[in-house]
Structures are given as C-alpha cells and as structure tokens.
Amino acid sequence: MNVRTDLSVTGRAWVFGDDVNTDDMYPGFAMKLPMAEASRFMFNATRPGWSDLVEPGDVVVAGRNFGLGSSRPVAELFTALGVTALIAEQYNSLFLRNCLNLGLPAVTVPDARAFVSEGDVVSIDVEHGVAMNDSTGVERAFTRFPGFLVDMLRSGGLIRQLEVAGHLRPPTGGPA
C-alpha cells in the first residue's frame, strides 16, 4: 500500500454483478490468514478460483452497490493480486473510502457494464475523469474526485500521508 498510485492505468477487465458484498470478496475464514494468502479467496462465494485467473495490471468492473457489508480491508487483497483500479456503477461508501484510503483508484461509471465487457482493455485517467474502452473505442467521462482525494491517491494512500505528516514512526513490521 505504500507504493505510489499511478493515476492513469490501462488493464484487462473482469466484470462482476450487482450487490457484491465484502463477505464474498474477503470471507470470514480468510481473515485468519496473511493478506497474500487471503487474496486467494476473493469472490469465494460467487466466483471461486478467480484469483488464479486475474493478473497484475487487471481492472475489476462491477454493478450497483459494490462492496456492501463489513469494513474488512478488501482493497489490500485487490492490491495483493495486482488489480490497479476498480470501475463500478455505484459503490457502498464505506468500501469506496476504504479503496481510496489504501491507494486503489475506484471510479464510478453509471453504465459500467454497458461500457465494458469482460476481457476488454480499459484505460482510466483518474485525474481528468476519463475512461476509455480501448477494445471498442468508446469513452466515458466520470465525476472527478475532490482535490484532497486525488492528492491522497497520488501520494499512495492515507497511511503514506500520515507518515509524511509525521504521525507515524517508520514501520515496525510484524505480520499484517
């Protein structure tokens, strides 16, 4: 999570449905595991085995109410698998804040699933609010984030900002 977030990303899309909840993305039993192992169980209820298919640089696309449920830090699992951005038609706000705070860009495109099909290559420019489906040539503008959130993403997430501001000592390490 302490890497600088690239605000302009291009990746292959995986498409999920409506109301995907955080128990599905980060099952309770996986909370017993270190992040890298827990990430193997993403979408365990609705798409088991997905983590073996996703590749670093990929993008996840979803429908309405993406991330309903608990506050478990799902964004860290996406990051562990190398997912570089999320596009959804609508987010649960707790989930959305979690993603942004952990440096994972998550943009809202109200007709995301009409705009992107699974396997399409999509480019997202977070700073300028533009998404392009490179496979179809279709473009979408999306609402840009307030400046303080763009700054946070650019600096690699909230924890990195807290370090820079002198609120945190250098990492003492230990298992995540």
Phi, psi of 165 (to 5 degrees): -75, 0
Nearer Cβ to other proteins, position 56 or 146? 146
Cβ closest to other proteins, residue 11 vs residue 69: 69
Per CB under 8 A, contacts with other proteins among 116-155 are 146, 148
- Asked if 45 touches other proteins (CB under 8 A), the answer is yes
Q: Which of 51, 65, 133, 155 binds other proteins (CB under 8 A)?
A: 65
What is the distance between the alpha carbons of residues 27 and 122, in angstroms, rounded to a whole number? 28
Assign 117 to helix, strand or coil: coil
- For residues 13 to 32, the per-residue mask of contacts with other proteins, x marking binding by CB under 8 A and - elsewhere, is ------x-x-xx--xxx-xx
**Which CB sits closer to other proteins, 29 or 53?**
29
- Contact between 59 and 81 under an 8 Å Cβ cutoff? The reply is no
**Where are the extended beta strands (E) located within 83-163?**
85-88, 106-108, 121-125, 130-133, 138-141
- Could you tell me the smallest distance in angstroms from the CB atom of residue 132 to other proteins? 26
Is the Cα dihedral 167, 162, 83, 27 positive or negative? positive
Q: Are 94 and 71 in contact (CB under 8 A)?
A: yes
**Binding-site ranges for other proteins (CB under 8 A):** 19, 21, 23-24, 27-29, 31-32, 44-46, 48, 64-65, 68-71, 73, 90, 92-94, 97-98, 101-102, 146, 148, 157-159, 162, 166-176
